[in-house]
Chains A and B, each alone.
Chain A
Amino acid sequence: MASEMQNSNPTILNAADLPTRLRPTSSNKLGLFGKGLFAPTLLAAEGTGLPFTDSYSSADSDSDGDLLEEPIDEQEIYDLVSTISDPEHPISLGALAVVSLPDISIRPTLPNVPASPLRTVTVLITPTITHCSLATVIGLGVRVRLEQSLPPRFRMDVRIKEGTHSTANEVNKQLADKERVAAALENGTLMAVIAKMLETCQ
């Protein structure tokens, strides 16, 4: 790949400032009995003795939760792609603001057919500099990650965000072209780079 770094000094967002999902259980952890500091003390106090009721009741609480569906949303897509590392730096795309939550959207693929489960995920990529030749590689990486991680009823649409790249049209054409994407994925060197980028995905 490029021997010279194209952007050796990008701005980095703080990990704590990146958007994350607030779990309903963790949001009130200071106030709730048994979820906070005293949890170990209390757990020991309440869990132990009654082997005929505990741990078998867990099934009940589970089934309660099972009724509640959690659809795939933008945050989940963000979590999937933000941990990909940049091919130039050992820093995540999220921290470099290459992908950001507002630039991800999920829409029904066929708006005229409300019953259709098909969805289209759009991810807009913001390269760190406007002439970054690695934009295509990053786009491919995001695409591969989504294809590996989303169910078949999802369509991917990965594009460069308007006005952030000098040859955005060129790159977009390449990313949208199924044939060219498939051809690129046959390329061993390219796949090795992408595999390296995806290594950090948790």
Chain B
Amino acid sequence: MSALQTFLLVVDHDRQEAMQIAERVAQDVENKTTTLIEVVQSLVEYINDEDPILRGKAVSYLTAVIKALPPKFLSRQQVQVLTTFFCDRIEDGGAVAGLDTLQKLDRFNKDLAEEVARAIFEHFQELQARSQSQRFQVYQLLNELMSNHRSALYDMGDESLNGIVDLMTGEKDPRNLMLVFSILKVVMMEWDVSNYAELLFDSVYNYFPITFRPPPNDPYGITSQDLKDRLQDCISSTSQFAPHAFPALLEKLDSTSPNVKRDALNALIACINSYDPDTVSKYSITIWDTLKFEVLNAQEEFLSEMSLQALQSIAKRLSEGVTQITDQLPLAHYMRPIAKECNEQLQEPQQKQAKPAQQILSYMSAASVASFTLAVQAVVAPLLTIYQEADGIAKQRALLDTLVVLFESAIIVFGEWTTRTPEMNAENPLFEFKDQFSDMFGQALMGVVKEEVSFRVSALKGLLRLSTLRNFFQDNEVGLFVQYLDEILLKEESVGRDDLKKEAISALAEISKHKPKLIMDITFPAFVATLPDFDDGTGSKYLTTLEILAQISVEKDIFDTLVRRLLSKLNILLQKEQPGSAEYPKAILVTILYVMSQRKMDQDSNLELYYNKIVVELSRNVAACASGKAKNSILNDPSLLDILGRLHNLIVRSLPRDKQDEIAKNIYTLYCTEDEFAPVPFSQTANDDQQRTMIVSTYLLAGLPTDCAFLPYTRPNMSGLLSDTTKRTVTNCEPATHIALLRHMALLVNKFLVKSELNIATDIFNTLLPQQAGEVTLSPETIMTLFWLSKALVLRLAPKTTDILTSLLSLLSSTDEVTSTTAARGFSILLRDDDVLSPTNGANIRLLAKQRVFTTLVPLISSRIREVNIAGSDTPTPQYIKPAHLTALSGILATISPALVMPELPTLLPLLLQSLDLQTSDSQAVRAATLETLAVIIRDNGVGVIEECGHVQSLVSRLLKTTEFKPTSGNSAPVNSQRLRVDALKCLFLLAQTPSADAPAVAKSGKLSPLLPVKSQVLRSLRFVLDDPKRDVRKAAVDARGAWLRGVDDAPDDEE
């Protein structure tokens, strides 16, 4: 059997085998054992067969052989002969693939390409009738010809144009269309289409709008957006389509479907951007007349915005190359009706239609310098006239707002002072009105009654825009505005929500970016002058001033000056015999802390200076104060030390390594010699004032890197330092000092204790907590120490984590009620985010720590509570045990992310419900935490999860119970505080509000809302909550009731 016969036999069921046969033949041809002519001749008996399938297979054989030949093997003549052969046989399967192989060869020339193309065009009807994949082959061949032999097709001119259009007519498959559109785009852009514009346009526009939606799991990955993009490229490819494209697209805007309109607008914008400006100009007014309607009667926000973009694009195109602005410009023709419309709508600028008119103005004027100039010429003068004649302040205000819109466009066109782009040569048309604006806005800001806040805010915004607009105001004009702002902030009384003052502050901050010198020269001295030397208790407003200063000190120079001035104020205070209240120095420090935290301190060039002035000097002062050698005792104030510590901490973190080492050595000595100040650790005689310096030391310690080698008292190991610190934490001392000591210990254990020495910490834990915890009574200080120590260990997931947690839990079952309840509250310490032991400070916090604590403790708590519940009266457990466990639980819940809670919900929900049953006034905190957790669970997951656990009814009735207001006699706190009532109402609101993910599906399946059985109960109860004495509660009740009325559907009526 010949190779051909074998091929014909196997090709249907074993493609690989068939290919191998072809390869063998190809090799023979290559080795000259047979010739190509012989191969072709062998086909003779089959290619004239009646059966088209057999003919196709025979041609495929030849194709396969050619494909297997090396690309340079075929001579020019052979290529020619084969091409002619395939072209003759193009209706037979396999020929197209053969041609595709041939056209890739170097020896394939332009004439041949023409021949192939002609063959395709001549047989387009047969080719159209083929299957999708074969049509795809044809398009691919054409596409290849287009990219490799474009000139051949181009020279065919109309013939190829018509041929391609004929070929693709009726094509529906998205994969083929992708190719067709890209082939057509070449024709549209490069061929002379003047005689065929309509034909070509119609051939693609037939497909508009694309409604194709890919099937699920579409292997080809063609989205409808891909098709839309390619189609849009075709439509916008040549200006010659304009007479067809614009009317057709504008007509599509009559469609009722927003998606069709969106596609039409997108295509419209593409056309505007790609057609030449003359063409666009011809249709500009028509487009405006249609799009006007879309903007003025906006149905959908995005349609209006796209229409505005289209209008703006026209203005941009028409501005191209415009240097001289005259009435005769196409742009001027286009803008005229638009400006007229805007002027008409803006006659009554406070009415609804003025808003879209403002938007049109905004988009048009921002398009280019030319369009801005034309817009200003057309509208500003009429606006000013309306302003003069306006009878009400509301109208004037709306006019100011309109002008502000123009100013914003001016900024887009001309830039701000800080804009880096090259400056425009064109003159700003607003210059003509500069003085008028200045007077008008100045008058509006400063010359009206103080109560017209929103009017003045509009004026302020206008002046701010003009002040930042590049090369517009002179410095003295901006300066005047800055003075206005100073006056508003310093002299005016507060009105309402102080909107004007807030705006004034942000305006100053904004100006400080553009004109820092003005702020330094005008605002800064004026404000600093109002700062007192000390707080004489006469209610000076230094805090407001400091707040404002902090907010305007954005620029480096201003920031720098502010810090220096404040530090010198502080130093004066420290030298005073009678410095007044510590609140003032504290406020100064807070201000410095605030401005520093707003900046990237590690890149600040003055960092070294701040280190010396703040960390070193103030630490010395603290030490002096603690040993009673200072002029006053300001630096003995614990909250002041706390702020100072934070400031230290911030600076320490930003410092380079060598400075940090220096700090490490001075943590306890505070840069003093032995004689000046005795460090606290190991001191037997440290009094309260001295101990208080540990606040500062702790913050310094927190800022140091983990691997710091110069920590005092850590050689050979930390056990001495740790046990000294622990000794201080278990004794009673001032709260602020106490918490600092606890954090100090926690930092040492969590951050600096090396892993091999962890046993030092666990030993301390075991010493503090005897094994028989049930019997002991521990002091609150000891319990706190235990919890902080555990916190430090648990966060780094020390090996003994589980043991530690279990021991802590056993404290709750202590026979001593105080120990039990104090420990219960301690659980909130474990995972609470701490400012000092924080990731920012490099604390060792493992990702899974929270999860570990939760999954360890919850089952234990749950089973313990069950025990208590079951035990009943036989073996009475003390009353406080159950609330203590619930408190511990709430402490943990409040400090972990709700995502961790979800898997445990079935265990947890009964516990949460039991927490809500604690109807006593001292269980408020527990119930508040519970409600918060519940709110998050409901908000994230809907009512479905509650229903799955079967607790809807019990949850709702407990929530309702918590919403009740029960007047109490005397001074005892009510059972449900205001906050609890509001939180419970919020949960009820969320229950009805949050749609479960599968809501529509449920609705369809006719399943009723799980809330329906309780709906009437809820509505009835809430009706009485509406009469709660507290407004916030009533508000929450209104919302909750509204949600239940709206969100919980009744059973569908029978007739529906």
Residues of chain A whose beta carbon lies under 8 Å from any beta carbon of chain B: 8-14, 16-17, 20, 22, 26-33, 36-38, 41-42, 44-46, 48-53, 55-56, 58-60, 62-63, 65-66, 69-72, 76, 80, 89, 91, 148-153, 195, 198-199, 201-202
Given contacts A52-B784, A63-B973, A149-B1041, whether A9 and B736 have CB atoms under 8 Å apart is: no
Contact call A22/B543, Cβ cutoff below 8 A? no
Question: Given the complex of chains A and B, what is the CA–CA distance between A51 and B780 in angstroms?
Answer: 11
Main SS of chain B's interface residues? Answer: helix
Task: Using A22-B496, A37-B550 as known contacts, say yes or no to A69 and B1029 having CB atoms under 8 A apart.
Answer: yes
**A89 → B minimal CB distance (Å):** 7
B1003-1029, CB under 8 A of A: which get 1 and which 0?
A: 000000000000000000001101101
A59 close to B594 (CB less than 8 A): no
Contacts of B1030 in A (CB 8 A): 65-66, 69-70
Within 8 A of A (CB), among B529-567: 541, 543-544, 547, 550-551
Residue B1034, interface by CB 8 Å: yes
Please measure, in the bound complex, the distance between the C-alpha atom of A46 and the C-alpha atom of B583, giving whole angstroms: 14
Q: Chain B residues with Cβ under 8 A from A91's Cβ?
A: 352
Q: Which residue from B352, B499, B547, B822 sits with its C-beta under 8 Å from A10?
A: B352
In the complex the two chains form, what is the Cα distance from A161 to B496 in whole Å?
Answer: 29
User: Which of B175-183, B222-230, B362-370, B827-835 participates in binding chain A?
Assistant: B827-835
Contacts beyond the supplied A38-B594, A59-B921, A63-B974: 5 A-B pairs with Cβ under 8 Å: A29-B498, A41-B646, A52-B780, A52-B784, A66-B1030
Which residues of B in the span 585-601 have a Cβ within 8 Å of any Cβ on A? 587, 590-591, 593-594, 597
Q: Which of A17, A27, A44, A195 contacts B1046 (CB 8 A)?
A: A195
Task: Given A14-B454, A63-B974, A65-B978, answer yes or no on A37-B593 (Cβ-Cβ < 8 Å).
Answer: no
B1031 on interface, CB distance cutoff 8 Å: yes
Interface membership of B642, Cβ < 8 A:
yes
With a CB–CB cut-off of 8 A, which chain A residues contact B547? 30, 36-38
Check A52/B825 contact, CB under 8 A, given A9-B352, A70-B1031, A148-B1042: yes
Q: Can you pick out 5 interface pairs between chain A and chain B where the beta carbons lie within 8 Å of each other?
A: A33-B587, A44-B646, A49-B743, A52-B822, A72-B1034
B351, A12: Cβ atoms under 8 Å?
yes
Residue of A nearest to B496 (CB): A22
Interface string of B715-757 (1 = CB under 8 A from A): 0000000000000000000011001101100000000000000
Across the interface, do B501 and A30 meet the contact criterion of CB distance under 8 Å?
yes
Contacts of A31 in B (CB 8 A): 541, 543-544
Q: Tell me the bound Cα distance from A11 to B1045 in angstroms.
A: 32
Q: Which residues of A contact B922 (CB under 8 A)?
A: 59
Residues of B within 8 A of A149 (CB): 1026, 1038, 1041-1042
Q: For residue A201, which residues in chain B have a CB less than 8 angstroms away from its CB?
A: 1042
Residues on B facing A (Cβ under 8 Å): 348, 350-353, 355, 394, 397, 453-454, 457, 494, 496-499, 501, 541, 543-544, 547, 550-551, 583, 587, 590-591, 593-594, 597, 639, 642-643, 646, 735-736, 739-740, 742-743, 780, 784, 822, 825-826, 828-829, 832, 834-835, 921-922, 924-925, 928, 973-974, 977-979, 1023-1024, 1026-1027, 1029-1031, 1034, 1038-1039, 1041-1042, 1045-1046
| Measured CA separation A33–B501 after assembly (Å) | 17
A151, B352: Cβ atoms closer than 8 Å: no
Q: How many angstroms from the CA of A49 to the CA of B822 in the assembled complex?
A: 15
**Inter-chain contact B583/A41, CB cutoff 8 Å:** no
Contact of A37 with B594 in the complex, beta carbons under 8 Å: yes
Residue of A whose beta carbon sits closest to that of B297 = A8
Asked if B925 and A49 make an inter-chain contact with CB atoms under 8 angstroms apart, the answer reads no
A89 to B297, CA, bound (A): 11
Q: How far is the CB of A67 from chain B (nearest CB, A)?
A: 9
Given that A28-B494, A45-B639, A66-B974 are contacting pairs, would A9 and B979 also be in contact in the complex, using a CB cutoff of 8 Å?
no
When distances are taken between beta carbons in the complex, the residues of chain B under 8 Å from A22 are 496-497
Question: Within the assembled complex, what's the spacing in Å between the Cα atoms of A198 and B597?
Answer: 45
- Which residues of chain A are near B1031, meaning CB under 8 Å? 70, 76
Residue of A nearest to B645 (CB): A45
Hey, which chain B residues are within 8 Å of A9, CB to CB? 348, 351-353
Task: Tell me the bound Cα distance from A152 to B1023 in angstroms.
Answer: 7
Task: Give chain A nearest CB distance to B786 CB in angstroms.
Answer: 13
A13: B residues at CB distance < 8 A: 394
Q: Complex: how many Å from CA A172 to CA B1046?
A: 27
Check A148/B351 contact, CB under 8 A, given A37-B547, A41-B597: no
Q: What are the nearest 9 A-B pairs in CB distance? A: A49-B739, A151-B1027, A62-B977, A63-B973, A69-B1029, A151-B1026, A16-B454, A149-B1038, A70-B1031
B643 and A45: CB pair below 8 A? yes
Judging by beta carbons under 8 Å apart, are A66 and B977 in contact? yes
Q: How far is the CB of A145 from chain B (nearest CB, A)?
A: 9
Assess the B1026–A150 pair: CB atoms within 8 A.
Answer: yes
A56 to B821, CA, bound (A): 13
Expressed in whole angstroms, the minimum distance between the Cβ of A96 and any Cβ of chain B is 9
A8 and B642 alpha carbons, distance in the complex (Å): 61
Nearest residue, chain A, Cβ from B593 = A41
Q: Given A29-B498, A33-B543, A41-B594, is A12 in contact with B828 using a C-beta cutoff of 8 Å? A: no
Contact status B735-A50, CB under 8 Å: yes
Residues of B within 8 A of A66 (CB): 973-974, 977-978, 1029-1030
CB distance from B674 to the nearest CB of A (A): 31
Is the beta-carbon distance between A153 and B1027 smaller than 8 angstroms? yes
Given known contacts A14-B454, A70-B1030, is B735 in contact with A49 (CB within 8 Å)? yes
Which residues of B are found within 8 Å of A37, using beta-carbon distances?
547, 550-551, 594
Q: A65 to B583, alpha carbons, bound, how many Å?
A: 27
- On chain A, the residues within 8 Å of B978 by CB distance are 62, 65-66
Residue of A nearest to B834 (CB): A48
User: Would you call A198 and B1042 a contact (CB within 8 A)?
Assistant: yes
B901 to A: closest C-beta gap in Å = 20
Contacts of A51 in B (CB 8 A): 784, 825-826, 828-829, 832
B973 touches A60 (CB 8 A): yes
Complex CA distance for A31 and B594, rounded to whole angstroms: 16
Q: Which residues of the other chain, B, contact A17 by a CB distance below 8 angstroms? A: 394, 454
Nearest CB in chain B: distance from A108 CB, A:
15
Residues of B within 8 A of A72 (CB): 1034
Minimal Cβ-Cβ distance residue in B for A22: B496
A51 to B457, CA, bound (A): 44
Kindly report which residue of chain B lies nearest to residue A91, judged by CB atoms: B352
A31-B825 Cα distance, complex, nearest whole Å: 35
Closest to A28 in B: B494
Which A residues touch B829, using CB under 8 A? 51
- Report Cα–Cα, A137/B740, bound state, in Å: 64
State in angstroms the CA–CA spacing of A202 and B1036 once bound together.
10
Tell me, rounded to whole Å, the shortest Cβ–Cβ distance linking B588 to chain A. 11
A22 to B924, CA, bound (A): 28
- Chain A's closest residue to B828 (CB) is A51
Most chain B beta-carbon contacts within 10 A, residue among A16, A29, A49, A91: A49
Q: Which residues of B contact A38 (CB under 8 A)?
A: 547, 550, 590-591, 594
Which residues from chain B contact A49 at a C-beta distance below 8 Å? 735-736, 739-740, 742-743
Is B924 in contact with A59, judged by CB distance below 8 angstroms?
yes
Closest to A55 in B: B925
Give which listed residue, A8, A56, A65, contacts B353 with CB less than 8 A: A8
| Chain B residue contacts of A55, Cβ below 8 A | 828, 925
Most buried by A among B543, B834, B922: B543
Q: Closest CB-CB distance, B352 to chain A, in whole Å?
A: 5
Chain A residue nearest to B1039 (CB atoms) is A202
A14 to B1042, CA, bound (A): 27
Q: Shortest beta-carbon distance, A80 to chain B, in Å?
A: 7
A27 and B924 within 8 A (CB): no
User: Does A27 lie within 8 Å of B351, measured CB to CB?
Assistant: no
Q: Which residues of A contact B921 (CB under 8 A)?
A: 59, 63
Bound: A198/B1030 CA distance, A:
24
Closest residue to B925 on the A side, CB-wise? A56
Q: Please indicate the chain B residues that have their CB under 8 angstroms from the CB of A80 in the complex.
A: 1038
Which residues on A sit within 8 Å (CB–CB) of B550? 37-38
* Contact indicator A44/B397 (Cβ below 8 Å): no
The chain B residue sitting closest to A12, CB to CB, is B352
